[in-house]
């Protein structure tokens, strides 16, 4: 959400596609998943009927934030994890990993950026997102379990990619970026040790920017807001700037990278 908001502040038109059944991103967009969203508002109808005219364009909604639209999520998104493999059983040649990539085609000319938010697991929807994306951003909390999970993810994805390549499909990425977030710089924190593991493992993928932890941002009513939602007086400006500034720096890096791609026709 912060990435999307930051891009709109640079004048970009952005679409968020929430693929996580927990729907936390949807709620950050101002939609209460249990009451204001049904499965008919999500990507599910397209998953069930990939031939529908207009593809995913049928499910776009505006948000409260200017320049930012969303295709929301709902807990019933989990049913895609049963439907997709069922389709593969019926047709072993079915390229299930290209569903979202095909469905996004009508959206590409309408938005500068389309951001796909996935569950933290290698589900069928996550696989679809990875095969539809032009680049990847992995936020990583520098804690040992988070680091181990991230390494496991890439191992599984590598095996999966090999299998997809054997079926004649390939995917290249403009960049893969690992962004350390919620970094605790306290004296008793394990962040320095884990950071060294991340540096050795991810090398050039690791961003030089870090988003610090902020207890003020995760407490009370502000827990369902972002640093870009907060007005003056809600929190001390210095507290907000500690988190907002590295995010804006990261957004600027990403946007300038794609400005160069657009200029060169990539």
Tens-level pLDDT at each residue, the chain (266 residues): 999 999 999 999 999 999 999 999 999 999 987 788 999 999 999 999 999 999 999 999 999 999 999 999 999 999 999 999 998 888 888 888 899 999 999 999 999 999 999 988 889 999 999 999 999 999 999 999 999 999 999 998 888 888 888 877 888 899 999 999 999 888 888 899 999 999 999 999 999 999 998 765 565 445 567 888 876 565 666 777 888 899 999 999 999 999 988 887 76
For residue 199, the SS3 value is helix
pLDDT for the residue numbered 220: 42
For residues 127 and 259, what is the distance between their CA atoms, to the nearest angstrom? 27
pLDDT for the residue numbered 219: 52
pLDDT for the residue numbered 168: 76
Phi, psi dihedral angles at 179 (to 5 degrees): -115, 115
Domains of the chain (ranges; CATH) run 1-133 (3.40.50.300)
For residues 219 and 38, what is the distance between their CA atoms, to the nearest angstrom? 29
For residues 76 and 44, is the Cβ–Cβ distance under 8 A?
A: yes
pLDDT for the residue numbered 221: 44
């Amino acid at each position: 959400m912060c990435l999307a908001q930051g891009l709109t502040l640079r004048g970009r038109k952005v679409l968020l596609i929430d693929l996580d059944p927990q729907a936390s991103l949807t709620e950050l967009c101002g939609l209460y998943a249990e009451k204001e969203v049904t499965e008919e508002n999500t990507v599910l109808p397209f998953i069930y009927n990939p031939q529908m005219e207009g593809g995913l364009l049928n499910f776009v909604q505006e948000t409260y934030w200017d320049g930012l639209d969303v295709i929301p999520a709902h807990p019933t998104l989990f049913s895609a994890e049963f439907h997709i493999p069922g389709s593969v059983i019926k047709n072993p040649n079915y390229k299930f990993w290209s569903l979202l990539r095909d469905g996004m085609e009508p959206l590409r000319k309408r938005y500068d950026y389309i951001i796909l938010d996935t569950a933290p697991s290698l589900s069928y929807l996550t696989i679809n997102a990875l095969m539809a994306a032009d680049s990847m951003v992995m936020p990583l909390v520098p804690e040992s379990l988070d680091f181990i999970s991230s390494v496991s993810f890439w191992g599984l994805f590598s095996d999966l990619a090999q299998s997809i390549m054997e079926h004649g499909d390939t995917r290249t990425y403009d960049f893969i970026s690992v962004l350390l977030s919620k970094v605790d710089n306290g004296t008793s924190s394990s962040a320095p040790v884990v950071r060294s593991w991340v540096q050795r493992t991810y090398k050039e993928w690791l961003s030089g920017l870090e988003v610090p932890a902020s207890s003020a941002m995760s407490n009370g009513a502000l827990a369902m807001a972002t640093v870009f939602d907060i007005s003056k007086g809600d929190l001390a400006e210095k507290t907000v700037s500690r988190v907002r500034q590295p995010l804006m720096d990261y957004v600027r890096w990403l946007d300038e990278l794609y400005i160069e791609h657009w200029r060169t026709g990539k």
